[in-house]
């Protein structure tokens, strides 16, 4: 059973458009989570930290 092409493009993009959509999705999710926990400073720091690690891993993957 093969995955939906749109889903596989978002998970492992082969094109620049797919990579851009992935970055935009991570940034939107990061902002949403940070706003949801904005009253607790440590949770905001955790959310931003995890988001930066994910974006960093995506950046390293582009270098490979």
pTM for the complete prediction?
0.76
Average of pLDDT values for 42-49? 95
**What are the residues whose beta carbons fall under 8 Å from the beta carbon of 15, sequence distance 6 or more?**
9
DSSP class of residue 1 equals: -
Q: How far apart are CA 18 and CA 36, in angstroms?
A: 27
pLDDT, residue 10, reads 64
Q: The domain containing residue 48 runs over which residues?
A: 5-63
**23's tokens:** 């970055």
Q: How far apart are CA 11 and CA 20, in angstroms?
A: 12
Total domains, the chain: 1
Per-residue model confidence as pLDDT tens digits over 15-31:
888 888 889 999 999 99
């Amino acid at each position: 059973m093969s995955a939906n092409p749109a889903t596989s493009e978002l998970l492992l993009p082969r094109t620049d458009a797919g990579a851009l959509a992935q970055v935009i999705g991570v940034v939107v999710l990061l902002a949403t989570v940070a706003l949801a926990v904005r009253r607790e400073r440590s949770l905001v720091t955790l959310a931003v930290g995890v988001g930066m690690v994910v974006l960093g891993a995506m950046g390293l993957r582009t270098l490979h």
